[in-house]
Amino acid sequence: MNTSPDEPRRISRLLGNHWLRRSLVCFGALVALVGTFYAEEDWRGQRDWNQYREATEARGESLDLRSYIPKPVPEEDNFAEAPIVKSLFGPNAGKILTNDLYAHAANNIPETDISWDKAPRHFLDLVAWQMASAALQSGPLKPEQNFKTDKTDLAARAVAAPAVLEGMKPDAAEFAELRAASTRPYSRYPLFYDMENPWSILLPHQGKIKELCNRLSLEACAELAVGQPDQALADVKLMLSLADSIKSDPFIISALVRAACVGIVSQPVWEGLAEHRWNDAQLQELQARFLSYDLLTDMQQPLKEERVVGVLAVDRVMKQGIGRFFPTGWWYEEKLNYDSLIDLQMKGVVNLAAKTISPFRSESNAKEKNRHLDESSGSDLKAILHHHLIASMMEPALNRVYVRIAESQITADQAALGCALERYRLANGQFPETLSALTPQFMPRLPNDVITGQPYKYRRTDDGQYVLYSVGWNERDDGGVPGKRLFDEQEGDWVWDYRPS
């Protein structure tokens, strides 16, 4: 059979066209399959997210950051807009409050505020500050110079206090301006609420507020040691105003800083009670301020806002880089999983009606969250496929938040009770046999332990003092014996008492 020379070329073209058509068909099928996959994933992710969002909003909870931004207040009524406050965070922030003893020696004093890492409660080491003040006469302190003593009896503190108070005078004018500004009825810091990137929202005032409280606590403790309770009360009131100035900030870190400041404020209050420095009028004022704290309720908005921050973070990743290559529905699932884990950590921990917080639920929720994350995000690829990438990187440990809030609420309650007990002693010459004796004359209501929902544990001691305590994070009554730390999470009670210095 004769074959034309052109025959092989015709066969090759036919075969080539056949494979090209088959390839195109296969490619088209693949594109259709991928398109279907993306469409299905997009539909499913958006459906799941919309169901969650609608259920959340039906409970009256917003997933829009704008709803958490504090409303504007008149500038002349705004503490945060006072010139002295603005200067603390503006271009001159590093040039003010730099001349006093605290500024020059705080890094050389191991304990600059109430120590959460040491139990029982103890007096501030004013002698160490006096030593630091003396050392500064020879020039700036070196990093390796640390000052610490065990001389915390009243006589030693009374001798040391004048040097401390003298050392605080260089910045007294700034504190006088702060005190005047604190009479303004509102506080809203001029933060830039970045809707695109919430992680870029700067909070320069947080650390400064806590530092100011530490400075004032030192001064108030020194004033009490030399018998100046009026001046100490003015400092305590300014500390409370500074703490409350960030109450409207919608961030968890703000709630934690405010809670920490309540703990710092409690130090001079405790010292004044231990040495019987406060009079009845001062005690009534302090008692009312501490009774007004409801930190469990105040923390709800920041916790809910944390969900919004996660949503915005996912939106930002979705619009950038590699995020564009994944189905949009996957990012909706990322939002859902992030917020669902926040909800899991919050579930059943706080009972606002009873004003209680459950350590057991907090810890069990945290374990459940960690187990869930371990199963769904053991590697980057696994986290992506299970839609837990953002949650595995950013999910906050809310159990730590709950511990800190519980510590500070109990501190506020115990400080209020301490004031009422001292008022009873001033009127009757001794502390009462039971807390119930305080109402209604010395206290309108008795706060309950936020751990148990029951009255705080109390007993009068043989030396005429008393022990007041919460059962603490282990939810076990250890008879008023503290753990190794003032607020130990493993052992011991959370105790407010007065032991010999």
pLDDT digits (tens, 9 = 90+) for 311-342: 888 888 777 766 567 788 878 888 888 888 89
* Tally of CB atoms within 10 A around 147: 19
CB-based contact 498:465 (threshold 8 Å): yes
The two tokens of residue 381 are: 């690829």
Residue 93 CB burial class (10 angstroms; 0-12, 13-18, ≥19)? middle
pLDDT given for residue 373 in this prediction: 81
DSSP 3-state of 228: coil
The two tokens of residue 105 are: 């020696």
Domain ranges of the chain: 75-277, 301-400
Strands 494-497 and 457-460: unpaired
d(CA 452, CA 475): 7
pLDDT exceeds 90 at position 469: yes
Higher pLDDT: 192 or 322? It is 192
Strands 466-470 and 494-497: antiparallel
d(CA 46, CA 52): 10
Backbone angles phi and psi of 326, in degrees to 5? -90, 155
Residue for token digits 């002295």?
84
Amino acid at 79: F
First to last CA, the chain: 119
- 278-285's contacts with Cβ under 8 Å and 24+ in sequence apart are 278/229, 278/233, 278/419, 278/422, 279/229, 279/426, 280/423, 280/426, 280/427, 282/229, 282/230, 282/233, 283/419, 283/420, 283/422, 283/423, 283/426, 284/419, 284/423, 285/233, 285/237
**What percentage of the chain reaches a pLDDT higher than 70?**
88
d(CA 301, CA 205): 19
d(CA 87, CA 105): 23
Higher pLDDT: 362 or 375? It is 362
pLDDT given for residue 76 in this prediction: 95
CB-based contact 108:85 (threshold 8 Å): no
d(CA 253, CA 424): 38
**What percentage of the chain reaches a pLDDT higher than 90?**
63
Q: What is the pLDDT of residues 231-276, one digit of tens each?
A: 999 999 999 999 999 999 999 999 999 999 999 999 999 999 999 9
For the segment 181-195, the average pLDDT, to the nearest whole number, is 89
Residue for token digits 């870029």?
200
Mean per-residue pLDDT of the chain: 88
pLDDT exceeds 90 at position 446: yes
As a whole number of angstroms, the longest Cα–Cα distance in the chain is 131
Amino acid at 203: L
Nearest to 265 by CA among 228, 235, 292: 235
CB-based contact 292:247 (threshold 8 Å): no
Q: Name the packing angle between helices 229-244 and 172-181 (round to 10°).
A: 60
321: left (phi over 0), alpha (psi -120 to 50) or beta: left
Q: What is the pLDDT of residues 395-409, one digit of tens each?
A: 778 888 999 999 999
pLDDT given for residue 26 in this prediction: 65
Residue for token digits 């115990």?
414
pLDDT given for residue 338 in this prediction: 87
Q: What is the pLDDT of residues 104-163, one digit of tens each?
A: 999 999 876 655 567 788 899 999 999 999 999 999 999 999 999 999 999 999 999 999
Q: How confident is the model at residue 165 (pLDDT cuts 50, 70, 90)?
A: very high
HSE of 365 in the Cβ direction (CA atoms, 13 Å)? Answer: 23
Q: What is the pLDDT of residues 32-62, one digit of tens each?
A: 666 675 677 778 888 988 898 999 999 999 9
Residue for token digits 């008692």?
287
Could you tell me the pTM of the whole model? Answer: 0.89
| DSSP H helices in 185-251 | 205-225, 229-244
- Percent helix, strand and coil across the chain, each rounded to 5? 60, 5, 35
pLDDT given for residue 392 in this prediction: 80
Q: How confident is the model at residue 203 (pLDDT cuts 50, 70, 90)?
A: confident
